[in-house]
A = this chain, B = another copy of it.
Protein backbone atom coordinates (compact mmCIF):
# COMPACT_ATOMS: atom_id res chain seq x y z
CA UNK A 1 0.00 0.00 0.00
CA UNK A 2 1.83 3.04 -1.25
CA UNK A 3 0.46 6.49 -0.88
CA UNK A 4 -0.12 8.30 -4.13
CA UNK A 5 2.47 10.89 -5.10
CA UNK A 6 1.18 14.46 -4.86
CA UNK A 7 2.48 17.73 -6.20
CA UNK A 8 3.81 18.42 -2.73
CA UNK A 9 6.03 15.39 -2.87
CA UNK A 10 7.48 16.73 -6.07
CA UNK A 11 7.78 20.17 -4.54
CA UNK A 12 9.60 18.86 -1.52
CA UNK A 13 12.05 16.91 -3.62
CA UNK A 14 12.83 20.02 -5.62
CA UNK A 15 12.63 22.51 -2.75
CA UNK A 16 9.74 24.30 -4.35
CA UNK A 17 6.12 24.79 -3.37
CA UNK A 18 3.00 23.11 -4.54
CA UNK A 19 1.88 26.18 -6.43
CA UNK A 20 4.91 26.21 -8.63
CA UNK A 21 4.72 22.53 -9.32
CA UNK A 22 1.06 22.83 -10.16
CA UNK A 23 1.76 25.64 -12.59
CA UNK A 24 4.75 23.90 -14.08
CA UNK A 25 2.79 20.73 -14.72
CA UNK A 26 0.15 22.63 -16.59
CA UNK A 27 2.75 24.60 -18.51
CA UNK A 28 1.73 27.97 -17.23
CA UNK A 29 3.64 31.03 -18.37
CA UNK A 30 4.81 32.30 -15.01
CA UNK A 31 7.21 29.49 -14.33
CA UNK A 32 10.85 29.42 -15.36
CA UNK A 33 11.77 27.13 -18.21
CA UNK A 34 14.45 25.57 -16.08
CA UNK A 35 12.10 24.70 -13.26
CA UNK A 36 9.49 23.43 -15.63
CA UNK A 37 11.87 20.85 -16.98
CA UNK A 38 12.97 19.85 -13.53
CA UNK A 39 9.40 19.44 -12.37
CA UNK A 40 8.41 17.39 -15.38
CA UNK A 41 11.42 15.18 -14.94
CA UNK A 42 10.80 14.69 -11.26
CA UNK A 43 7.14 13.97 -11.88
CA UNK A 44 8.02 11.26 -14.33
CA UNK A 45 10.65 9.91 -12.01
CA UNK A 46 8.24 9.70 -9.09
CA UNK A 47 5.49 8.36 -11.34
CA UNK A 48 3.22 11.18 -10.38
CA UNK A 49 -0.44 10.79 -11.25
CA UNK A 50 -2.69 13.80 -10.79
CA UNK A 51 -5.58 13.42 -8.41
CA UNK A 52 -8.43 14.32 -10.69
CA UNK A 53 -10.92 14.37 -7.87
CA UNK A 54 -9.04 17.16 -6.11
CA UNK A 55 -8.72 19.16 -9.30
CA UNK A 56 -12.39 18.68 -9.98
CA UNK A 57 -13.40 19.88 -6.58
CA UNK A 58 -11.37 23.01 -6.99
CA UNK A 59 -12.50 23.68 -10.53
CA UNK A 60 -16.10 22.79 -9.98
CA UNK A 61 -16.11 20.80 -13.16
CA UNK A 62 -15.09 17.30 -14.07
CA UNK A 63 -13.56 16.00 -17.22
CA UNK A 64 -16.34 13.53 -17.32
CA UNK A 65 -19.50 13.20 -19.32
CA UNK A 66 -22.68 11.53 -18.27
CA UNK A 67 -24.50 9.34 -20.71
CA UNK A 68 -28.06 8.29 -20.09
CA UNK A 69 -29.68 5.76 -22.35
CA UNK A 70 -32.65 3.41 -22.03
CA UNK A 71 -30.60 0.25 -22.56
CA UNK A 72 -26.86 -0.13 -22.72
CA UNK A 73 -27.11 -3.50 -24.39
CA UNK A 74 -29.05 -2.29 -27.35
CA UNK A 75 -27.32 -2.40 -30.66
CA UNK A 76 -28.06 1.19 -31.53
CA UNK A 77 -27.18 2.72 -28.18
CA UNK A 78 -24.11 0.57 -27.74
CA UNK A 79 -22.87 1.81 -31.08
CA UNK A 80 -23.60 5.42 -30.27
CA UNK A 81 -21.72 5.05 -27.02
CA UNK A 82 -18.81 3.45 -28.82
CA UNK A 83 -18.77 6.39 -31.20
CA UNK A 84 -18.87 8.86 -28.35
CA UNK A 85 -16.08 7.03 -26.58
CA UNK A 86 -13.95 7.09 -29.67
CA UNK A 87 -13.89 10.87 -29.72
CA UNK A 88 -14.14 11.57 -26.02
CA UNK A 89 -11.09 9.48 -25.32
CA UNK A 90 -8.99 11.70 -27.54
CA UNK A 91 -10.07 14.71 -25.54
CA UNK A 92 -9.45 13.15 -22.17
CA UNK A 93 -13.07 12.84 -21.17
CA UNK A 94 -14.39 9.97 -19.14
CA UNK A 95 -17.78 8.50 -19.65
CA UNK A 96 -20.15 7.76 -16.82
CA UNK A 97 -22.89 5.63 -18.21
CA UNK A 98 -26.37 5.10 -16.86
CA UNK A 99 -29.23 3.08 -18.19
CA UNK A 100 -32.82 3.90 -17.40
CA UNK A 101 -34.52 0.67 -18.45
CA UNK A 102 -37.14 3.01 -19.86
CA UNK A 103 -38.07 4.14 -16.37
CA UNK A 104 -38.59 7.84 -15.86
CA UNK A 105 -37.77 7.59 -12.19
CA UNK A 106 -34.43 6.01 -12.92
CA UNK A 107 -33.74 8.63 -15.55
CA UNK A 108 -34.30 11.41 -13.03
CA UNK A 109 -32.11 9.74 -10.46
CA UNK A 110 -29.39 9.14 -12.98
CA UNK A 111 -29.33 12.78 -14.00
CA UNK A 112 -29.16 13.82 -10.35
CA UNK A 113 -26.31 11.45 -9.71
CA UNK A 114 -24.44 12.85 -12.66
CA UNK A 115 -25.00 16.36 -11.38
CA UNK A 116 -23.58 15.37 -8.03
CA UNK A 117 -20.53 14.17 -9.87
CA UNK A 118 -20.12 17.58 -11.45
CA UNK A 119 -20.01 16.20 -14.94
CA UNK A 120 -19.24 18.65 -17.69
CA UNK A 121 -22.18 17.52 -19.71
CA UNK A 122 -25.02 15.07 -19.96
CA UNK A 123 -25.76 13.20 -23.14
CA UNK A 124 -29.17 11.70 -23.02
CA UNK A 125 -31.70 9.76 -25.00
CA UNK A 126 -35.05 10.00 -23.30
CA UNK A 127 -36.85 6.97 -22.00
CA UNK A 128 -40.28 6.02 -23.26
CA UNK A 129 -41.87 6.91 -19.98
CA UNK A 130 -40.31 10.34 -19.61
CA UNK A 131 -42.98 12.72 -18.43
CA UNK A 132 -41.13 16.03 -18.33
CA UNK A 133 -37.72 17.56 -18.58
CA UNK A 134 -37.48 19.24 -15.20
CA UNK A 135 -34.46 17.13 -14.34
CA UNK A 136 -32.69 18.40 -17.45
CA UNK A 137 -33.67 21.95 -16.63
CA UNK A 138 -32.12 21.61 -13.22
CA UNK A 139 -28.94 20.24 -14.72
CA UNK A 140 -28.77 23.22 -17.03
CA UNK A 141 -29.30 25.55 -14.10
CA UNK A 142 -26.21 24.03 -12.57
CA UNK A 143 -24.16 24.92 -15.60
CA UNK A 144 -24.16 21.41 -16.96
CA UNK A 145 -24.49 21.22 -20.68
CA UNK A 146 -27.16 18.90 -21.91
CA UNK A 147 -27.19 17.21 -25.27
CA UNK A 148 -30.11 15.15 -26.44
CA UNK A 149 -29.91 12.52 -29.11
CA UNK A 150 -32.22 10.12 -30.87
CA UNK A 151 -35.22 10.27 -28.59
CA UNK A 152 -35.36 13.98 -27.88
CA UNK A 153 -37.81 16.54 -26.64
CA UNK A 154 -37.77 19.63 -28.81
CA UNK A 155 -39.50 21.60 -26.08
CA UNK A 156 -36.37 21.37 -23.99
CA UNK A 157 -33.83 23.83 -25.31
CA UNK A 158 -30.58 22.02 -25.96
CA UNK A 159 -28.33 20.73 -28.63
CA UNK A 160 -29.99 17.82 -30.37
CA UNK A 161 -28.51 15.17 -32.59
CA UNK A 162 -31.07 13.14 -34.42
CA UNK A 163 -31.67 11.01 -37.41
CA UNK A 164 -33.90 12.34 -40.13
CA UNK A 165 -36.55 9.82 -39.25
CA UNK A 166 -39.17 11.63 -41.25
CA UNK A 167 -37.15 11.89 -44.43
CA UNK A 168 -35.76 8.42 -44.24
CA UNK A 169 -39.25 7.00 -43.89
CA UNK A 170 -40.28 9.09 -46.88
CA UNK A 171 -37.32 7.70 -48.78
CA UNK A 172 -38.10 4.17 -47.74
CA UNK A 173 -41.60 4.51 -49.16
CA UNK A 174 -40.16 6.08 -52.28
CA UNK A 175 -37.88 3.11 -52.61
CA UNK A 176 -40.80 0.70 -52.24
CA UNK A 177 -42.71 2.61 -54.87
CA UNK A 178 -39.78 2.52 -57.23
CA UNK A 179 -39.73 -1.21 -56.85
CA UNK A 180 -43.29 -1.28 -58.03
CA UNK A 181 -45.06 -1.85 -54.74
CA UNK A 182 -48.48 -0.24 -54.65
CA UNK A 183 -49.97 -0.82 -51.21
CA UNK A 184 -47.35 -0.50 -48.47
CA UNK A 185 -48.42 -1.26 -44.93
CA UNK A 186 -46.77 0.21 -41.85
CA UNK A 187 -45.72 -1.34 -38.58
CA UNK A 188 -45.58 1.58 -36.20
CA UNK A 189 -44.15 2.13 -32.76
CA UNK A 190 -45.85 3.77 -29.81
CA UNK A 191 -47.41 7.04 -30.86
CA UNK A 192 -46.05 9.09 -27.99
CA UNK A 193 -42.38 8.55 -28.78
CA UNK A 194 -41.26 11.19 -31.19
CA UNK A 195 -39.00 9.14 -33.41
CA UNK A 196 -41.76 6.65 -34.05
CA UNK A 197 -44.24 9.40 -34.64
CA UNK A 198 -41.86 10.94 -37.16
CA UNK A 199 -41.40 7.67 -38.97
CA UNK A 200 -45.15 7.31 -39.14
CA UNK A 201 -45.58 10.79 -40.54
CA UNK A 202 -42.78 10.14 -43.00
CA UNK A 203 -44.56 7.03 -44.10
CA UNK A 204 -47.74 8.96 -44.79
CA UNK A 205 -45.88 11.73 -46.53
CA UNK A 206 -44.13 9.14 -48.65
CA UNK A 207 -47.42 7.65 -49.71
CA UNK A 208 -48.72 11.09 -50.56
CA UNK A 209 -45.70 11.98 -52.65
CA UNK A 210 -45.85 8.69 -54.48
CA UNK A 211 -49.56 8.99 -55.06
CA UNK A 212 -50.24 5.79 -53.19
CA UNK A 213 -53.37 5.17 -51.15
CA UNK A 214 -53.34 5.27 -47.38
CA UNK A 215 -55.24 2.48 -45.69
CA UNK A 216 -55.71 2.82 -41.97
CA UNK A 217 -56.28 -0.91 -41.66
CA UNK A 218 -52.76 -1.47 -42.92
CA UNK A 219 -51.16 0.40 -40.07
CA UNK A 220 -50.49 -1.33 -36.78
CA UNK A 221 -49.36 0.73 -33.83
CA UNK A 222 -47.15 -0.26 -30.93
CA UNK A 223 -45.89 -3.13 -32.94
CA UNK A 224 -42.18 -3.39 -32.28
CA UNK A 225 -41.77 -7.00 -31.28
CA UNK A 226 -41.47 -9.93 -33.61
CA UNK A 227 -44.58 -11.56 -32.26
CA UNK A 228 -46.79 -8.50 -32.42
CA UNK A 229 -45.57 -7.70 -35.90
CA UNK A 230 -46.12 -11.23 -37.06
CA UNK A 231 -49.72 -11.42 -35.93
CA UNK A 232 -50.45 -7.93 -37.21
CA UNK A 233 -49.06 -8.87 -40.59
CA UNK A 234 -50.98 -12.12 -40.73
CA UNK A 235 -54.14 -10.16 -40.12
CA UNK A 236 -53.35 -7.63 -42.84
CA UNK A 237 -52.19 -10.21 -45.35
CA UNK A 238 -55.37 -12.22 -44.96
CA UNK A 239 -57.57 -9.16 -44.77
CA UNK A 240 -59.57 -7.34 -47.42
CA UNK A 241 -56.95 -4.83 -48.51
CA UNK A 242 -53.88 -7.01 -48.63
CA UNK A 243 -50.66 -4.97 -48.70
CA UNK A 244 -47.88 -5.82 -51.13
CA UNK A 245 -45.15 -4.25 -49.03
CA UNK A 246 -44.47 -3.20 -45.47
CA UNK A 247 -42.30 -0.64 -43.83
CA UNK A 248 -41.47 -1.60 -40.27
CA UNK A 249 -40.37 0.87 -37.60
CA UNK A 250 -37.90 -1.65 -36.28
CA UNK A 251 -35.98 -4.59 -37.64
CA UNK A 252 -37.55 -7.01 -35.23
CA UNK A 253 -40.92 -6.06 -36.63
CA UNK A 254 -39.58 -6.61 -40.13
CA UNK A 255 -38.47 -10.02 -39.01
CA UNK A 256 -41.95 -10.73 -37.73
CA UNK A 257 -43.32 -9.69 -41.10
CA UNK A 258 -40.92 -12.04 -42.80
CA UNK A 259 -42.06 -14.91 -40.62
CA UNK A 260 -45.66 -14.10 -41.34
CA UNK A 261 -44.97 -14.15 -45.06
CA UNK A 262 -43.13 -17.46 -44.80
CA UNK A 263 -45.97 -18.97 -42.86
CA UNK A 264 -48.56 -17.84 -45.36
CA UNK A 265 -46.45 -18.97 -48.29
CA UNK A 266 -46.10 -15.45 -49.56
CA UNK A 267 -42.92 -14.83 -51.49
CA UNK A 268 -40.56 -12.09 -50.46
CA UNK A 269 -39.81 -9.87 -52.29
CA UNK A 270 -41.98 -10.68 -55.29
CA UNK A 271 -45.31 -10.75 -53.46
CA UNK A 272 -44.34 -8.74 -50.41
CA UNK A 273 -41.61 -6.21 -49.98
CA UNK A 274 -40.23 -5.77 -46.47
CA UNK A 275 -38.17 -2.90 -45.18
CA UNK A 276 -36.98 -2.62 -41.59
CA UNK A 277 -35.47 0.12 -39.51
CA UNK A 278 -32.09 0.22 -37.71
CA UNK A 279 -29.90 -2.10 -39.71
CA UNK A 280 -29.43 -4.55 -36.92
CA UNK A 281 -26.61 -7.02 -37.57
CA UNK A 282 -28.98 -9.85 -38.27
CA UNK A 283 -30.73 -8.09 -41.12
CA UNK A 284 -28.03 -9.20 -43.50
CA UNK A 285 -28.23 -12.75 -42.25
CA UNK A 286 -31.89 -13.52 -42.89
CA UNK A 287 -33.25 -15.26 -45.91
CA UNK A 288 -33.88 -13.19 -47.89
CA UNK A 289 -31.65 -10.49 -46.50
CA UNK A 290 -33.64 -7.56 -45.15
CA UNK A 291 -33.63 -4.07 -46.55
CA UNK A 292 -33.52 -1.62 -43.71
CA UNK A 293 -32.78 1.94 -42.76
CA UNK A 294 -29.29 2.38 -41.40
CA UNK A 295 -28.98 4.95 -38.64
CA UNK A 296 -25.23 5.39 -38.72
CA UNK A 297 -25.11 4.98 -35.00
CA UNK A 298 -21.35 5.07 -34.50
CA UNK A 299 -21.22 8.14 -36.69
CA UNK A 300 -23.93 9.69 -34.56
CA UNK A 301 -21.88 9.11 -31.45
CA UNK A 302 -18.90 10.82 -33.00
CA UNK A 303 -21.00 13.74 -34.12
CA UNK A 304 -22.39 14.12 -30.63
CA UNK A 305 -18.95 14.43 -29.10
CA UNK A 306 -17.71 16.71 -31.82
CA UNK A 307 -20.70 18.94 -31.22
CA UNK A 308 -19.96 18.92 -27.53
CA UNK A 309 -16.31 19.77 -27.98
CA UNK A 310 -16.96 22.32 -30.67
CA UNK A 311 -19.66 24.39 -29.06
CA UNK A 312 -18.65 25.72 -25.66
CA UNK A 313 -20.36 29.03 -26.37
CA UNK A 314 -23.75 28.06 -27.64
CA UNK A 315 -25.95 29.87 -30.06
CA UNK A 316 -29.34 31.00 -28.85
CA UNK A 317 -31.28 28.34 -30.66
CA UNK A 318 -29.00 25.55 -31.71
CA UNK A 319 -30.28 23.86 -34.81
CA UNK A 320 -30.58 20.14 -34.43
CA UNK A 321 -27.77 18.22 -36.03
CA UNK A 322 -29.09 15.75 -38.50
CA UNK A 323 -27.37 12.45 -39.06
CA UNK A 324 -28.63 11.03 -42.30
CA UNK A 325 -30.30 7.67 -42.13
CA UNK A 326 -30.31 5.82 -45.43
CA UNK A 327 -32.13 2.89 -46.88
CA UNK A 328 -29.85 -0.08 -47.29
CA UNK A 329 -31.35 -2.05 -50.14
CA UNK A 330 -31.12 -5.78 -49.75
CA UNK A 331 -33.10 -8.63 -51.21
CA UNK A 332 -36.32 -8.26 -49.24
CA UNK A 333 -37.38 -5.27 -51.30
CA UNK A 334 -35.31 -5.81 -54.39
CA UNK A 335 -38.09 -7.03 -56.61
CA UNK A 336 -36.54 -5.72 -59.79
CA UNK A 337 -33.28 -7.51 -59.21
CA UNK A 338 -31.18 -4.39 -59.16
CA UNK A 339 -27.80 -4.51 -57.54
CA UNK A 340 -26.96 -2.12 -54.80
| Chain A residues near B (Cβ < 8 Å) | 1-2, 4, 49-54, 56-57, 62, 64, 71-75, 78-79, 81-82, 85, 89, 94-99, 106, 112-113, 115-118, 141-143, 255, 280-282, 285-287, 298
14 further contact pairs, Cβ within 8 A, besides A85-B98, A286-B287: A1-B141, A49-B112, A51-B116, A51-B118, A53-B53, A73-B75, A73-B81, A73-B298, A74-B78, A85-B99, A94-B98, A281-B281, A285-B286, A287-B287
Across the interface, A53 reaches (CB within 8 A) one of B75, B118, B141, B280, namely B118
- Nearest CB in chain B to that of A226: its residue: B285
Bound complex: CA A73 to CA B72 (Å): 9
Q: Is B142 in contact with A4, judged by CB distance below 8 angstroms? A: yes
Bound complex: CA A142 to CA B3 (Å): 7
Return chain B residues, CB-CB under 8 Å to A57. Answer: 51, 53-54, 57
Chain B CB within 10 Å, residue with most, of A73, A142, A280: A73
Bound complex: CA A286 to CA B290 (Å): 12
Q: Please give the distance in Å from A305's CB to the nearest CB on chain B.
A: 14
- Nearest CB in chain B to that of A143: its residue: B1
- Nearest CB in chain B to that of A297: its residue: B73
Across the interface, A64 reaches (CB within 8 A) one of B4, B96, B106, B287, namely B96
Q: Is B285 in contact with A255, judged by CB distance below 8 angstroms? A: yes
**Secondary structure dominating the interface of A:** mixed
| Identical chains bound together, number | 2
Bound complex: CA A57 to CA B79 (Å): 33
- Given the interface pairs A2-B141, A97-B97, the reply to whether A50 lies near B82 with Cβ below 8 Å is no
Bound complex: CA A99 to CA B86 (Å): 9
Q: Please give the distance in Å from A184's CB to the nearest CB on chain B.
A: 23
- Nearest CB in chain B to that of A101: its residue: B86
Q: Is A72 in contact with B81, judged by CB distance below 8 angstroms? A: yes
Q: Is A95 in contact with B96, judged by CB distance below 8 angstroms? A: yes
Return chain B residues, CB-CB under 8 Å to A116. Answer: 49-52
- Nearest CB in chain B to that of A284: its residue: B282
Return chain B residues, CB-CB under 8 Å to A62. Answer: 53
Bound complex: CA A113 to CA B88 (Å): 13
Across the interface, A96 reaches (CB within 8 A) one of B94, B113, B255, namely B94
Return chain B residues, CB-CB under 8 Å to A4. Answer: 142
Return chain B residues, CB-CB under 8 Å to A298. Answer: 73
Chain B CB within 10 Å, residue with most, of A50, A78, A143, A281: A78
- Given the interface pairs A118-B51, A285-B255, the reply to whether A142 lies near B85 with Cβ below 8 Å is no
Q: Is B85 in contact with A79, judged by CB distance below 8 angstroms? A: no
Q: Please give the distance in Å from A120's CB to the nearest CB on chain B.
A: 12
- Nearest CB in chain B to that of A78: its residue: B73
Return chain B residues, CB-CB under 8 Å to A106. Answer: 89
Bound complex: CA A141 to CA B47 (Å): 13
